Structure 1
Amino acid sequence: MKQLKKGSSKLLNAWASYDWANSVYSLVIASAIFPIYYGQLFKDKGSLNIEVFGTTLKSTALISFTTAAAFLMVAFFSPLLSGIADYAGNKKSFMRFFCYLGAMSTIGLCWFDLDNIYFSLACYFFGLIGFWGSLVFYNSYLPDIAFPEQQDRVSAKGYSMGYLGSVVLLIINLAMVMKPGLFGIEGDEGEAMKKAMRYSFISVGVWWIIFSQYAFYYLPKGTNGNGNKVHSAIIFNGFRELKKVWFLLEENLRLKRYLLSFFVYSMAVQTVMLVATYFGEQEIDWESDEERTMGLIISILVIQLVAVLGAVITSRASEKFGNIKTLIVINSIWMVICICAYFVTLPIHFYITAGFVGLVMGGIQSLSRSTYSKFLPETKDTASFFSFYDVAEKIGIVIGMVLYGLIDQLTGSMRNSIVFLAVFFIAGVFLLIRVPKK
């Protein structure tokens, strides 16, 4: 097939379509169905604690630490693999491998059970690695397929497609969970609901694999496409590239200061997104298990739908006021959300908070990605720069999740953890103010 030209609508749409394919993982698994399923397993057990790895951990602390471990591994391997991908010119092959790893691990979550906790956590662990590992290479395609003036909009389009696609599957999964009998899922009410949740994990893996094929068909093989054979000297080339990027940052003060601010506020953004449903599942006063399940899924739907609008508004705002000013406002809103979340106890308050989270969630992700892309110096070595970006994000998430889990484990409440994250948004605003205009 003839390679599509940079900036062509078909190529941009193909790139954005991967968001449609893989965002079902971040919604159904990371945000909606799996956290509810995970919480229900501990309710059935009659305790929020579990003996694992030679110690006793609270359920939410365990999932926080497991998530942090997965991100730590991604942070370590992504520069190594991106260096190989740049040299061999086969970026798409790595993206495809992580896509399939994540999808198959997600299907494995169908057998997640506390009696088989190590296999269960392994599926969760490798699902995260597959999802985030594929994004390392997906994000690095942006400056390769879009011109600078196109990047804000195509980035926002990708997130919007992701939100819409994931909502479609979540609605189907919601129908399965709430009305399992309509889908031929048998058992008593509680058992049928859990069985429907397990089937939803399979649907995510299948969706991810099928809809990723359009992107894999049209995206170029790699930036250079030279097909160089990988040898031992290349294995650690990615780390050498990171070191080179680090020194290049000394020559680009704007990029350096922006990356520092991104590192700080991103650890809070991603942590909130990863733990929001666990917070709602445990800390909100739901009247029944049915109300909890329906309420949490409705909240996630509200977040996803409002996030589409938020991403578009943010894109327009960045065009009018500039990327940095828009990011400062978004971080300020995030700070207020974290402080207010400490006092949220009723479902209605949780719904309102979810609406505000959605408004700023899509915007801060898409704008952060496109701002970094626009601040990059002229280079063909985009994978290494985006690897640096991803490593900064992943290490931030590791720190955020570990701190969140420790505060939760030591104090017994996620409220203390969530309000602590406001500190990172305050610091993010301060650091963004220090980013030079040129």
Structure 2
Amino acid sequence: MEKQTLTRMEKQWILYDVGNSAFIMLVTTIIPIYYKNIALAEGVSLAHSTAYFGYATSISTLIVALLGPILGAISDTKGYKKPLFTLFLVIGVLGCAALALPVPWLAFLGIFVVAKVGYNSSLIFYDSMLTDITTKERMDEVSSQGYAWGYIGSCIPFTISLLFVLFAEPIGISATTATMIAFLLNAVWWFGITIPLLKNYRQKYFVEVQSHPFKESFVRIIKMLKNIRKEKGIFLFLLAFLFYIDGVYTIIEMATSYGKDVGIGDNSLLLALLLTQIVAFPCSILFGKLSKKYRTTSLIKISIIGYTGIAVFALQLDKAWEFWFLAVCVAVFQGAIQALSRSYFAKIIPEEQAGEYFGLYDIFGKGAAFIGTMLMGVSTQISGSSKTGVFLLVFMFAAGFLLFRKADQVNSRSLSERKSI
């Protein structure tokens, strides 16, 4: 098979993964540590601070879950996708920068919610751009490249930020000032590296609207929701995705808080999660290459099984080396399960309604992640231990695997029937 290089538009699309991953790196590392230090200084216990962080994450994703289908349907209208993408990009970037403000822990969580809403909403439009910037045959490869370069690219601003945090005292600044610099630096990186996509993206697939884009978008949403259960393969995939990706995002967003709760030091947490990004880069590219040889659904199943093992291992975690080992295990499957799920969904939906369907995808994915984080928060607050929440994730992965296997059977049968016609 002749090796194909990435096109200019594919590269510019991938750059947004590089830009926004810097913010997600903050969410999984510096933000929870900084927040917990503020909360502890104001008399909030470790268990309660973890619970409140889980609630804030749940609120942000619930907001996006409610807005997702509406925003996605509107973005399918000709000329609307790029402006909406730009709006929520700016909200996310400004929210990231505003985290540098010296505010109490509750206000900090409020700003965090705004930044997360901007970030998650921008992904509705970004993910749906996949149908515009490449072909179905290349979607697995391009989507995997996006996550891969996102992991390694985010290490650049994060490493600089980490140097400020770790060497704050020698260079004559406080730890708080160093963290504020990190927030501002990552906000600038996020926006700056997205400029090529903002300049050159053109919406290829769209819905023609007669006169009232907003009204007609709502009509299309209602029609899609009525029909979605009839599209059994898509519906089963979304249910499976709800369970397994919810567990993935809960691990990503709560890992640092969980590690701190079981006694892992701040420096070990930060360095282990930096290692995750580095290891995830080649692993994501590897899975993208494997998708040319093996079925995408088989690779997704392997990733779900891998995450189930990760959740089981985390139940007994209490040493720094175990957290490091867990970080490497997460790195192997993290990019693959996200990238291949995104490209698989893009291949089974109507191209001209990509925004509409990815709005629904966001409900079952990032928008629905409030289930896992809320369970983590409530179970931790009730039991006084984060391990109770981790135990529940095992069942979420098991349910996701069984539903995905059924969805695979249905979609494979439907594809065979279409080819025979």
* TM-score w.r.t. length of structure 1: 0.87
Equivalent of 1:10 in 8, 11, 23: 8
Give the conservation status (yes or no) of the 8 Å contact 1:264–1:425: yes
Q: Are the structure 2 counterparts of residues 118 and 44 from structure 1 closer, same or farther at C-alpha, using a change threshold of 3 Å?
A: closer
Give the conservation status (yes or no) of the 8 Å contact 2:76–2:352: no
Counterparts of 1:309 and 1:322 in 2: how far apart (Å)?
A: 19
1:386-425 to 2 correspondences below 5 Å: 386-425=358-397
Q: 2:417 matched to which residue of 1?
A: none
Deviation at 1:231, TM superposition (A): 6.0
Counterparts of 1:212 and 1:370 in 2: how far apart (Å)?
A: 21
Q: 2:132 matched to which residue of 1?
A: 144
Q: 1:359 matched to which residue of 2?
A: 332
Q: Deviations over 1:393-415 (max 9, x none)?
A: 14431211111111011011111
Deviation at 1:309, TM superposition (A): 2.0
Alignment length, in residue pairs? 406
Unaligned residue ranges in structure 1 (runs of 5+): 1-6, 50-56, 187-191, 287-291
Q: 2:76 matched to which residue of 1?
A: 86
Give the conservation status (yes or no) of the 8 Å contact 1:18–1:215: yes
Give the conservation status (yes or no) of the 8 Å contact 1:41–1:113: no
Q: Deviations over 1:257-294 (max 9, x none)?
A: 2222111111111111110011111213x4xxxxx222
1:115-134 to 2 correspondences below 5 Å: 117-134=105-122
1:214-253 to 2 correspondences below 5 Å: 214-221=196-203, 223-224=205-206, 230=212, 233-234=215-216, 237-238=217-218, 240-253=219-232
Question: What amino acid maps onto 1:96 in structure 2?
Answer: T
Match status 1:42 vs 2:64 = no
Match status 1:342 vs 2:339 = no
Percent identity of paired positions between Structure 1 and Structure 2: 25
Q: 2:59 matched to which residue of 1?
A: 69
Counterparts of 2:346 and 2:79 in 1: how far apart (Å)?
A: 20
Question: What amino acid maps onto 1:206 in structure 2?
Answer: V
Q: 1:270 matched to which residue of 2?
A: 249
Equivalent of 1:294 in 264, 267, 276: 267
Q: Deviations over 1:67-118 (max 9, x none)?
A: 111111111112222222223522011111111101111111112533xx44
Q: 1:54 matched to which residue of 2?
A: none
Q: 1:3 matched to which residue of 2?
A: none
Give the conservation status (yes or no) of the 8 Å contact 2:63–2:367: no
Question: What amino acid maps onto 2:190 in structure 1?
Answer: W
Give the conservation status (yes or no) of the 8 Å contact 1:37–1:197: yes
Match status 1:198 vs 2:198 = no
Question: What amino acid maps onto 1:174 in structure 2?
Answer: L
Counterparts of 1:217 and 1:424 in 2: how far apart (Å)?
A: 41
Counterparts of 1:205 and 1:344 in 2: how far apart (Å)?
A: 33
Counterparts of 1:256 and 1:145 in 2: how far apart (Å)?
A: 25
Q: 1:259 matched to which residue of 2?
A: 238
Q: 2:162 matched to which residue of 1?
A: 174
Counterparts of 2:181 and 2:152 in 1: how far apart (Å)?
A: 21
Q: Deviations over 1:325-383 (max 9, x none)?
A: 11111111111110110101010011001100111111100011011112224x41211
Question: What amino acid maps onto 2:315 in structure 1?
Answer: Y
Runs of 4+ in 1 over 6 A off after TM superposition: 225-229
Deviation at 1:310, TM superposition (A): 2.1
Counterparts of 2:122 and 2:206 in 1: how far apart (Å)?
A: 19
Counterparts of 2:229 and 2:111 in 1: how far apart (Å)?
A: 40
Equivalent of 2:346 in 348, 368, 373: 373
Give the conservation status (yes or no) of the 8 Å contact 2:169–2:175: no
Counterparts of 2:125 and 2:316 in 1: how far apart (Å)?
A: 40
Question: What amino acid maps onto 2:249 in structure 1?
Answer: Q
Question: What amino acid maps onto 1:42 in structure 2?
Answer: A
Counterparts of 2:368 and 2:133 in 1: how far apart (Å)?
A: 28
Counterparts of 1:333 and 1:118 in 2: how far apart (Å)?
A: 36
Q: Are the structure 2 counterparts of residues 392 and 47 from structure 1 closer, same or farther at C-alpha, using a change threshold of 3 Å?
A: closer
* Secondary structure, aligned partner of 2:318: coil
Counterparts of 1:283 and 1:393 in 2: how far apart (Å)?
A: 28
Give the conservation status (yes or no) of the 8 Å contact 1:21–1:208: yes
Deviation at 1:226, TM superposition (A): 6.9
Question: What amino acid maps onto 1:298 in structure 2?
Answer: L
Match status 1:105 vs 2:95 = yes
Counterparts of 2:399 and 2:68 in 1: how far apart (Å)?
A: 27
* Secondary structure, aligned partner of 1:220: coil
Q: 1:53 matched to which residue of 2?
A: none
Q: 1:281 matched to which residue of 2?
A: 260
